[in-house]
Amino acid sequence: MKKGVGLFLLAILFVVALFSLQRSSRFYRYELIDLGEVANPRNTGICLNDRGDIFYYSILKGETVQGFFREPDGAIKPFEEVFGQTPVQLTDINNAGRVCGYVIGATATHRAFVWDTTSGFQFVETPPDSHAYIHDINESGELAGAVSSGTDKMKPHFWKSATAKGLPLDASRGWNGYGRRINEMGTVIGGQFNVDNPLNPMTAAFVW
C-alpha cells in the first residue's frame, strides 16, 4: 500500500515538473532581435504576420518618415520597391500576405486600400468626397476602419469584398467613431469620440 502511494506521489511530482518545464520553456523563448538600422536608428515596428513579414518605419532627416518591409529571411526593401508608390500608411498584414492601409494623396485625401502581390492596389468602396482609413484585416480579407465625410464626422466602417457598410453609433456619445480591430467571425471592436471636448474626447468603446 505504501509503495503504491509512493509511486502515485512520484507520478504527480513528475507531471508537475514536466508542466513547470513547459511553462518555463515557453516563457524564455523570447529574445531581442534588432531589425537593423535602415536609414536612421529611430525605427518603429507597425505590423507583422505569422510568416514573419514585418513592416516598420524609419524617421529620416527633417523628420520625414519612410517605410520599409522586412522579409522572413531578413531582406529589407523600401516601401517604394514593394508598392511602387508613396506615401503609404500601412496598418496591418494577414497571413496570406494581404496588406491594408491608406494612401495619402497630393491634396491630403486618404484612400483606403488592400494590396497583395497578385492584384496590387485595390482601393475600397467609399462615399464621394470622403477620406477612408482601414485599421485591420482578418484572414478572410474583411476590413475594419472608418470613413470621414466633408463635415469632418468620422463613422466606423466594415468592408467585405471591397463593399463598405457603415456601423451604427450612439448619438448620445458624439458623432464620431472608428473600427479598430476585426476577428475571424467578422466582429469589429472600436471606439467613439467627441471632437467638441478636446480634454476628454473618447466617450465609449464598442463591439459591432
Predicted confidence at residue 176, as pLDDT, reads: 82
8 A C-beta contact, residue 119 and residue 113: no
- 134-152: string of b/e by CB count within 10 Å (b at 16+)? bbbbbeebbbbbbbbeeee
Predicted confidence at residue 126, as pLDDT, reads: 79
In this structure, the answer to whether residues 97 and 198 fall within a common structural domain is yes
All residues at 6 or more sequence positions from 35 whose CB lies less than 8 Å from its CB, including other chains: 43, 45, 54, 56, 70
Model pTM? 0.72
The reply to whether 47 falls in a domain is no
The reply to whether 50 falls in a domain is no
Cell of 3: 509503495
The reply to whether 95 falls in a domain is yes
In this structure, the answer to whether residues 98 and 189 fall within a common structural domain is yes
Digits of tens for pLDDT over the chain (208 positions)? 555 555 555 656 655 555 555 554 455 566 666 665 555 556 667 777 888 777 776 665 555 556 777 777 777 777 777 776 655 778 888 999 888 888 776 555 678 888 887 888 888 887 777 888 889 999 999 999 888 876 667 888 888 877 888 888 887 777 788 888 999 999 998 888 776 665 556 667 788 8
The reply to whether 158 falls in a domain is yes
**In which domain, by residue range, is 163 found?**
87-207
The reply to whether 81 falls in a domain is no
In this structure, the answer to whether residues 102 and 199 fall within a common structural domain is yes
Taking 3-state DSSP, the helix, strand and coil percentages for the chain, each rounded to the nearest 5, stand at 20, 40, 40
The reply to whether 10 falls in a domain is yes
In this structure, the answer to whether residues 95 and 198 fall within a common structural domain is yes
The reply to whether 165 falls in a domain is yes
Dump pLDDT digits (tens) for 113-156.
Answer: 888 878 888 888 877 778 888 899 999 999 998 888 766 678 88
Predicted confidence at residue 61, as pLDDT, reads: 56
- Total domains in the chain come to 2
Predicted confidence at residue 20, as pLDDT, reads: 58
What one-character-per-residue DSSP string does 17-62 give?
HHHHHHHHHHHTT--------SS-S-EEEEEE-TT--EEEEEE-GG
**Cis bond before residue 128 (omega within 30° of 0):** no
In this structure, the answer to whether residues 23 and 111 fall within a common structural domain is no
Predicted confidence at residue 142, as pLDDT, reads: 93
Predicted confidence at residue 125, as pLDDT, reads: 81
Cell of 18: 514536466
